[in-house]
Amino acid sequence: MKILICISNVPDTTTKIKFTNNNTTFDVAGVQWIINPWDELALTRAIELKETNAGTIENITVIHVGLNTSDPTIRKALAIGADKAIRINAEAKDSYFVAAQIAEFVKKEPFDVILCGIESSDYNGFSVGGMLSELLDYPSVSALSSLEIANAEIKLKRGIDGGHEVISIVTPFVGIVQKGIAKEARIPNMRGIMMAKAKPLQVVEPVLIDNFTEFVSFEYPKPKATCKKIDPENVKELINLLHNEAKVI
């Protein structure tokens, strides 16, 4: 069984977001880049599965659509334990563009299990996994919080409103993961970092794809009015304000 994990390169979660060029471009100056948190969890889960199902899972590949500025993030995925990496050499324009590039690659080199994160924490598309599955005509299961593979049988748990469902599925499929898929993301150790240098990072040229959408500009959220402090000796005042001023109770 071959597993493919789509990884997105995003600003560290604590980054202060700034824009330049009249608020049309995200300012990358000084930004620390990380593997999108869900993608890192998906990768961790794939490695755990490979460790416990050595016979079944033969290879874990990560794929990324982006320029060579993403290479450190891709190397980190290799250091954590992916066997191989693919980078499609194009700037990601929108979710459809990314999904279509990955789909073209997978059509030539098939995988049994393809994992994506539920969203990337920069542009919050929530889309690549679903789009990819439709482009490949694979089934997709979203909001996975558990993925078990035993004797080539696959058991998934997916989130639904107010709970979860247990699902069985056959390969190939696209799994769109949320938190819970792995407990905590793995941190690369020294040996992993050394080994990553020798692992293949294949660069593939993109195909021509028209994007469906265009990001035209960005805005900052309106600054919040300052917090009204309520005297802890007069808690009633809070409820009074919520009732009479905010009118939400």
Partner 1 sequence: MSILVFAENWDGKFKKQTFELVSYANSLAKLLNSSVVALSIGKVEDDELKKLGNYGATKILNVSDNRLNTLDNKAFTITIAQAAIKENANIIIFPHNITGKAIASRISVRLKAGLVTGVNGLPTSTDPFTIVKKSFTSKAFANIVIKTPVKIITLFQNAFGIIESPASPVIEAFAPEINDSDIKTIVKEVNKVTGKILLTDAEIVVSGGRGMKGPENWGAIEELAKLLNGATACSRPVSDEGWRSHEEHVGQTGKIIAPNIYFACGISGAIQHLGGVSSSKYIVAINKDPEAPIFEVADYGIVGDVQKILPEIINAVKELKS
Ligand X SMILES: Nc1ncnc2c1ncn2[C@@H]1O[C@H](COP(=O)(O)O)[C@@H](O)[C@H]1O
Ligand Y SMILES: Cc1cc2nc3c(=O)[nH]c(=O)nc-3n(C[C@H](O)[C@H](O)[C@H](O)COP(=O)(O)OP(=O)(O)OC[C@H]3O[C@@H](n4cnc5c(N)ncnc54)[C@H](O)[C@@H]3O)c2cc1C
Q: Which of residues 34-93 bind ligand X (CB under 6 A)?
A: 36, 38-39, 63-66, 92
By the rule CB under 8 A, 186 interacts with partner 1? no
Residue 109 near which of ligand X, partner 1, ligand Y, none (CB within 5-8 Å, type-dependent):
none
- 206 or 230: CB nearest ligand X: 206
Provide the minimum distance between the beta carbon of 34 and ligand Y in the complex, in angstroms, as a whole number: 8
CB 199 within 8 A of CB 188: no
Answer positive or negative: Cα dihedral of 96, 66, 192, 28.
negative
Element spanning 177, H or E? strand 173-177
Residue pair 95/116 in contact by the 8 Å Cβ criterion: no
Q: Which residue has the tokens 């824009």?
A: 19
Residue closer to partner 1 (CB basis): 65 or 201: 65
Q: Residues interacting with ligand Y, by CB under 6 A?
A: 13, 37
For tokens 């794939």, the residue is: 46
Site for ligand X in 127-186 (CB under 6 A): 127-129
DSSP letters, 107-153, are HHS--SEEEEES--TTT----HHHHHHHHHT--EEEEEEEEEEETTE
Report the partner that residue 92 touches, choosing among ligand Y, partner 1, ligand X, none (CB closer than 5 to 8 A by kind): ligand X
Residue 165 in the binding site for partner 1 (CB under 8 A) = yes
Provide the β-strand partners of residue 86: 63, 202
Q: Count CA atoms closer than 13 A to 143's CA, side-chain side.
A: 9
Which residue's beta carbon is nearest to the bound ligand X?
Answer: 117
Stretch that binds partner 1, among 6-14, 75-83, 188-196, 198-206 (CB under 8 A): 6-14
Query: Quick one: which segment of 18-26, 126-134, 156-164, 222-230 binds ligand X (CB under 6 A)?
Result: 126-134
Through-space distance between the first and last CA atoms of the chain, rounded to whole angstroms: 55
Tokens of 125: 């598309």
Q: Nearest CA to 136 among 158, 167, 157, 105?
A: 105
H/E element, 72: helix 71-80
Q: Does 214 bind partner 1 (CB under 8 A)?
A: yes
Binding map of partner 1 across residues 223-242, x = CB under 8 A, - = no contact: -xx-xxxx-x--xx-xxxxx
Q: Which does 98 bind (CB under 5 to 8 A by kind): partner 1, ligand Y, ligand X, none?
A: ligand X
Could you say which of 116, 154, 174, 181 contacts ligand X (CB under 6 A)? 116
From 71, 122, 192, 206, residue interacting with partner 1 (rule: CB under 8 A): 122
Binding residues vs ligand X (CB under 6 A) = 6-8, 36, 38-39, 63-66, 92, 95, 98, 116-117, 119-120, 123-129
